[in-house]
């Protein structure tokens, strides 16, 4: 079942009608192919129109779309299924919000590191909603050092609503872990490519975001604070009201 955002309604209508037509065709012997063909022709155009003039608010919604592919999907496709995950920061525990490991890209082995979100409620809790703890950043640093040792390039995939702000994260030195990552990533003697594929919030994103090439996908955001918090500080629009209403 696909999920549709509010401004995607016209696309949803067309897709639902196609499904209905198919059901009719399956029940009776009415030939729906000519009608379907006309629908197909008209289907990409509303999508193109809608996505050509997205407002900033809609773009933020797209970046959090529940059907959007997450880090592991990108890594698996880019590495053609050769990705081998490595675990643990060698001090506290393995952070599930941060994934990393080697994979092959066009005959070259590459270290992939990125924040992973879950696809359903249970997985989201397991992955801590893509918010890494300090051990996640320390794991990322350990893997980057490993890549540097073997002279392999690093590709980081950023998709996080922020670093985890819990009490235990602060106790274990969240700020220190991120700051150390910034420092060490600056002087990594291998190529580093960073890609923002969804949300890129603040230190959570920067902790693995220092690279020779920092790239963003079209419908993503990368900022010091989430757009909602920023607007409530500035007091212009209250998004909480919008969400409740």
Partner 1 sequence: MLTYKLIDGIIPEPVGGAHADIDGACLLVKAEVVRSLEKLSKTDPDKLVERRIKKFCAMGMVEKARPASKTKAKA
Contact positions toward partner 1, by CB under 8 A? 11, 44, 47-48, 51, 62, 65, 67-69, 73-74, 77-78, 105-106, 108, 110, 153, 155, 186-193, 195-197, 210-219, 222
Give the shortest CB-62-to-partner 1 separation in angstroms.
Answer: 5
Cβ nearer to partner 1, comparing 215 with 225: 215
Give the shortest CB-109-to-partner 1 separation in angstroms.
Answer: 11
Q: Nearest 5°: CA angle at 12, between 11 and 18?
A: 95
Distances (CA, A) of 186 to 50, 139, 196: 40, 17, 18
Name the nearest CA neighbour of 137 among 158, 151, 117, 153.
158
Cβ nearer to partner 1, comparing 143 with 169: 143
Give the shortest CB-71-to-partner 1 separation in angstroms.
Answer: 11
Distances (CA, A) of 154 to 58, 88, 94, 96: 32, 18, 20, 19
Longest CA span, the chain: 68
Give the shortest CB-30-to-partner 1 separation in angstroms.
Answer: 29
The backbone torsions φ and ψ at residue 235, rounded to the nearest 5 degrees and listed phi first, read 75, 25
Token pair, residue 79, equals 């590495």
Name the nearest CA neighbour of 130 among 113, 117, 144, 146.
117
Cβ nearer to partner 1, comparing 135 with 148: 148
Give the shortest CB-82-to-partner 1 separation in angstroms.
Answer: 13
Cβ nearer to partner 1, comparing 48 with 90: 48
Cβ nearer to partner 1, comparing 169 with 210: 210
Cβ nearer to partner 1, comparing 136 with 198: 198
Contacts of 225 (CB under 8 A, 6+ apart): 201, 202, 233
Give the shortest CB-152-to-partner 1 separation in angstroms.
Answer: 10
């Amino acid at each position: 079942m696909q999920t549709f955002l509010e401004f995607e309604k016209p696309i949803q209508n067309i897709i639902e009608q196609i499904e209905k037509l198919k059901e009719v065709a399956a029940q009776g012997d009415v030939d729906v192919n000519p009608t379907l063909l006309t629908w197909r022709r008209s289907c990409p155009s509303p999508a193109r129109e809608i996505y050509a003039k997205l407002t900033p608010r809609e773009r933020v919604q797209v970046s959090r779309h529940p059907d959007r592919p997450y880090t592991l999907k990108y890594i698996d496709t880019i590495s053609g299924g050769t990705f081998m995950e490595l675990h643990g920061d060698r001090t506290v525990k393995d952070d599930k919000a941060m994934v990393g490991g080697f994979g092959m890209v066009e005959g070259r082995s590459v270290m992939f590191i990125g924040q992973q979100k879950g696809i359903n409620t249970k997985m989201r809790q397991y992955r801590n909603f893509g918010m890494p703890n300090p051990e996640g950043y320390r794991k990322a640093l350990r893997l980057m050092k490993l890549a540097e040792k073997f002279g392999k390039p690093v590709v980081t995939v950023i998709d996080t609503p922020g670093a985890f702000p819990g009490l235990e994260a602060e106790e274990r030195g969240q700020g220190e872990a991120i700051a150390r990552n910034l420092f060490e990533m600056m002087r990594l003697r291998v190529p580093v490519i960073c890609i923002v594929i969804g949300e890129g919030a603040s230190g959570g994103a920067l902790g693995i975001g220092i690279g020779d090439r920092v790239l963003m996908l079209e419908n993503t955001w990368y900022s010091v604070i989430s757009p909602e918090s920023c607007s409530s500080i500035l007091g212009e629009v209250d998004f909480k009201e919008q969400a409740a209403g």
